[in-house]
Chains A and B, each alone.
With several copies, the nearest count.
Chain A
Amino acid sequence: MTYKVKLEAFEGPLDLLLHLINRLEIDIYDIPMAELTNQYIEHLHAMRVLKLDELSEYLVLAATLLEIKSKMLLPVHEGEALDESSDFEMEEDPRDELVARLIEYKKYKEAAITLKESAEERSVHFTKLPGDLSQYGELVAPETEDKLNVFDLIGAFQKMLERKKLRAPLTANIMRSEISVSEKMDHIMIILERQGGSCDFDSLFESGDIEGLVVTFLSLLELMKRSDIVVLQDNNFGKMTVTTGMEESYGNN
């Protein structure tokens, strides 16, 4: 039988074994060692083109599989297997330890899936930044008598990254859809008109998020290119002034 298998990434030899057991529809409590070992080694073979050091853990398990397989081939077992009543002695089964390991691992693998679902459920609930109470007074921080925990630092840092995500979008995303360069160009010209033909370069950049500032800057460049405005600077690092291009004295190259 030939079929295509799309394999997910394996998390280790036990994960690979579970995958094979599942795919081959093997009963985990009665693993056909020969078949499973062959399949496992076939997979290892394909993996061998990859990094060897990452394979070492897989190889250790391969050795275990082979050992179990050979133990099961011992004639004592075959003889007993013919006799139904001797099944009570299956606690001696060389596969027991492996089965126990697989089952234990599987439990946590499934718990991981549950955790992931739980995290997904949680992720549809958004919360807000704490309100700013600084205008009412200092937050009182009690004296730090005990040892503090480094992991609190990490927690604080991660929380801050989360908060930044909440803070950024509300300004940025909305702005982007709203203000185009051409709109901003009109806006700048209106400001210039109101202020009698000139204004501080900096004043155009006083508010807005990064997107907004970039749009403002692009608009200025475009206006300069069209010679609608001229940007003047008295000396290096001096204040820059934006004026409407009316003032002929500076020309408009």
Chain B
Amino acid sequence: METIDDRIIGMLESFLFIAGDDGLTLKNISTLLQTDEESAVIIAEQLRLNYENRSCAGITLRLYGGSYRLVTKAEYADDILRMLENPTRNPITQASLEVLAIIAYKQPVTRVEIDDLRGVKSDGPIQTLVAKGFIMEKGRLESSGRPILYGTTELFLDKFGLESIDMLPPLVDSDEEPFGDTDLFMSKFQEAFEMTDEGGNND
């Protein structure tokens, strides 16, 4: 208790880092660190002190609404606003690109479906994409609220150099290899060779 193990502080930092904006409750933290809540408070406080005492730290720990979160230090707030003006690489933001990908492959699709898939609200990117002319309303779903169905436009095809929407490369979930046949073949093949094999007697 007097000297907290460095490793457990590092572990907490790594957990909080991954949790990002969602943060972790004290209960989460004590579960994850496999300790009681009292110790968890002490460890968290030590991590916070480390950040506060290190002038080269850009982040620190805050407790808001029952959740511990890593946040950037207040002194860098103005600098971070610069990130809004200097978006990285793509001429289209990552968020917009994600939404566009979903609409391109799953059209016609509602905003709610897009939100579900991304796990975040997508109003902003959808607005941007409509404004850019990449997507448009393709009707309404006949269900409660009659939500808008979105689809891609001709301009989208043009900008992405596609002859038609069918020319999009096929997409698979990253977890599954789409070639069940090959695997079946291979497993059969293996079976066939699991048996005793006469080798080396053929000169």
The residue that A112 contacts in the complex, of B91, B98, B193, B197, with Cβ under 8 A, is B98
Which chain B residues in 151-180 approach chain A with CB under 8 Å? 153-155, 158-162, 168-169, 171-174
Question: Which of A97-105, A180-188, A198-206 forms contacts with chain B?
Answer: A97-105
Which chain B residues in 64-109 approach chain A with CB under 8 Å? 64, 69-74, 77, 80-81, 83-87, 89-98, 100-102, 104-105
With an 8 A cutoff between CB atoms, is A208 at the interface?
A: no
Residues in A whose Cβ lies below 8 Å from that of B95:
11, 139
Q: Taking chain A's interface residues, is the majority helix, strand, or loop, or is none over half, making it mixed? A: helix
Tell me the complex Cα distance, A238–B101, Å: 37
Tell me the complex Cα distance, A2–B198, Å: 5
With an 8 A cutoff between CB atoms, is A227 at the interface?
A: no
The residue that B89 contacts in the complex, of A49, A123, A137, A147, with Cβ under 8 A, is A123
A7-B118 in contact (CB<8A): no
Residues in A whose Cβ lies below 8 Å from that of B140:
none
With an 8 A cutoff between CB atoms, is A191 at the interface?
A: no
A173-B83 in contact (CB<8A): yes
On whether A160 and B98 interact (CB within 8 A), knowing A27-B200, A129-B20, A151-B133, the answer reads: yes
A84-B192 in contact (CB<8A): yes
Question: Which of A29-37, A212-220, A228-236, A239-247 forms contacts with chain B?
Answer: A29-37
Q: Report B48 CB to chain A, min CB distance, Å.
A: 13
Tell me the complex Cα distance, A87–B189, Å: 7
B172-A148 in contact (CB<8A): no
B198-A34 in contact (CB<8A): yes
Which chain B residues in 117-165 approach chain A with CB under 8 Å? 117-121, 124, 128, 130-133, 136-137, 153-155, 158-162
The residue that A57 contacts in the complex, of B92, B104, B121, with Cβ under 8 A, is B121
The residue that B193 contacts in the complex, of A54, A84, A118, with Cβ under 8 A, is A84
Q: Report B139 CB to chain A, min CB distance, Å.
A: 11
Question: Which of B1-9, B27-35, B39-47 forms contacts with chain A?
Answer: B27-35
Residues in A whose Cβ lies below 8 Å from that of B132:
144, 158
Tell me the complex Cα distance, A42–B119, Å: 19
Residues in A whose Cβ lies below 8 Å from that of B84:
133, 136-140, 165, 169, 173
On whether A155 and B100 interact (CB within 8 A), knowing A12-B120, A170-B24, A170-B83, the answer reads: no
Number of interface residues of A (CB under 8 A): 119
B74-A125 in contact (CB<8A): yes
A90-B192 in contact (CB<8A): yes
Indicate with 1 or 0, residue by residue over A2-18, a CB within 8 angstroms of chain B CB atoms. 11111111111111000
Q: Report A166 CB to chain B, min CB distance, Å.
A: 6
Tell me the complex Cα distance, A114–B171, Å: 10
Which chain B residues in 185-200 approach chain A with CB under 8 Å? 185-194, 196-200
With an 8 A cutoff between CB atoms, is A63 at the interface?
A: no
With an 8 A cutoff between CB atoms, is B18 at the interface?
A: yes
B18-A131 in contact (CB<8A): yes
With an 8 A cutoff between CB atoms, is B62 at the interface?
A: yes
Q: Report B71 CB to chain A, min CB distance, Å.
A: 4
Shortest 5 CB-CB contacts between residues of A and residues of B? A122-B161, A12-B120, A151-B136, A124-B77, A125-B71
Provide 22 A-B residue pairs closer than 8 Å at the C-beta atoms, listed in order of the A residue: A2-B198, A7-B194, A30-B200, A35-B203, A42-B198, A87-B193, A105-B119, A109-B98, A111-B101, A115-B97, A115-B160, A137-B84, A149-B160, A149-B161, A151-B130, A154-B130, A156-B94, A158-B174, A168-B85, A168-B119, A171-B22, A174-B27
Q: Which residues of B are in contact with A by a Cβ distance under 8 Å?
A: 14, 17-22, 24, 27-28, 31-32, 60, 62, 64, 69-74, 77, 80-81, 83-87, 89-98, 100-102, 104-105, 117-121, 124, 128, 130-133, 136-137, 153-155, 158-162, 168-169, 171-174, 184-194, 196-203
Q: Which residues of A are in contact with B by a Cβ distance under 8 Å?
A: 1-15, 23-27, 29-30, 32-35, 38-39, 42-43, 46-47, 49-51, 54, 57, 61, 81, 84, 87-88, 90-91, 93, 99, 101, 103-116, 118-134, 136-174, 177-178
